[in-house]
A and B are shown apart, each in its own frame.
Chain A
Amino acid sequence: MRLDELTQRPWNYVTDSGVPWLMAGLVCLINGGAGLITHRLPLNYQTIPSLVGILCMLLVFLAARQVNLRVIAPRGGYVEPDDRFDPRNWIWIPSALVGEAAILLLLRFLTKLGWEQVIWPGFAICLAFIIAGVGRQIKRPRMYWFALYLLALGAVLLWARVGPEMTWLAIGVGVPLTVLGAIRLRKFLKENPAE
């Protein structure tokens, strides 16, 4: 009996259902989609996609809550993971900020591009390191694949010389998260049929 794994189980159960991944993916896609549409509209209408996007994100949150209550809980049970503030769990934030700054400086030095062109590729690369670190900490080697994907995404964004908007990064992150979430949710529903 591994007590550490058991105490982590409520968190793992919540993510096993796929709903948080699906929700995060959809939020990223909505954000990216709104960004794409905004640039194709006349200046007077450019706030509309953002407002519609915020409304859609709210709907995604409400839908996720309903799915958890009406679909997940009756099949596999309900659990509210303990999220009490523990400063030890947040020590990575200053390290990540320092890492992000170092990556941005390195990218600028190597590519001679402007800040606006390295900020989102740099963010993707920094996120890759964070994901790999979390995967190592919670012993989930599959997260390394997502970290590798983010590294590749960072390289593509750098090569494509994206602007200061995070549109393409949001879409690049949103697509795999949505697919992963949908696959997980389908697997969960198959493994836990309604009684």
Chain B
Amino acid sequence: MSEVDRIIHEPARLLIVALLSGAKEADFLFLQRETNLTKGNLSSHLMKLEEADYIEIEKMFRGKIPLTLVRLTPAGRTAFQTYRKTMNGLLR
């Protein structure tokens, strides 16, 4: 059990990483609606994933509307694949 990545193993963060693994990029609103997390909760999980270098966050404006884009980094993608393999191995 010690080999399980604790950053991804947390359910909310696993949800975020799994959603991002099927996307090139997604905005904050999409992640919030799909995960049903509050803004504050989602922000804190995104910060933890960013600190681990699993995601990158880009803040920009589309017209006058602020837009927060989130992408999985190659390290994050690899970590998610490793996590899935590990969990499949443990549950087999």
Chain A residues proximal to chain B, CB less than 8 Å: 1, 3, 6-11, 13, 69, 73-74, 76-83
- With A1-B11, A10-B23, A74-B65 in contact, is A79–B30 under 8 Å at CB? yes
Closest to A76 in B: B33
Residues of B within 8 A of A79 (CB): 23, 25-27, 30
Interface residue tally for chain B (C-beta within 8 Å): 23
Chain B residues proximal to chain A, CB less than 8 Å: 11, 14-15, 18-19, 21-34, 62, 65, 67, 84
Given contacts A6-B18, A10-B23, A81-B23, 8 further A-B contacts (CB under 8 A): A6-B21, A11-B22, A77-B26, A77-B29, A77-B30, A78-B29, A79-B30, A83-B24
The complex places the Cα of A17 from the Cα of B30 at a distance, in Å, of: 13
Verify B23–A80 contact, CB threshold 8 A.
Answer: yes
The complex places the Cα of A74 from the Cα of B30 at a distance, in Å, of: 9
Main secondary structure of the interface of B (DSSP, over half): helix
The complex places the Cα of A11 from the Cα of B67 at a distance, in Å, of: 21
Closest to A83 in B: B24
Verify A10–B84 contact, CB threshold 8 A.
Answer: no
| Smallest beta-carbon distance A2→chain B, Å | 9
Listed A/B pairs (22) with beta-carbon separation below 8 Å: A1-B14, A3-B84, A6-B22, A7-B19, A10-B19, A10-B22, A10-B23, A13-B30, A73-B27, A73-B29, A74-B29, A74-B65, A77-B28, A77-B29, A77-B30, A78-B30, A79-B26, A79-B27, A79-B30, A80-B23, A80-B26, A82-B21
Verify A82–B24 contact, CB threshold 8 A.
Answer: yes
Residues of A within 8 A of B23 (CB): 10, 79-82
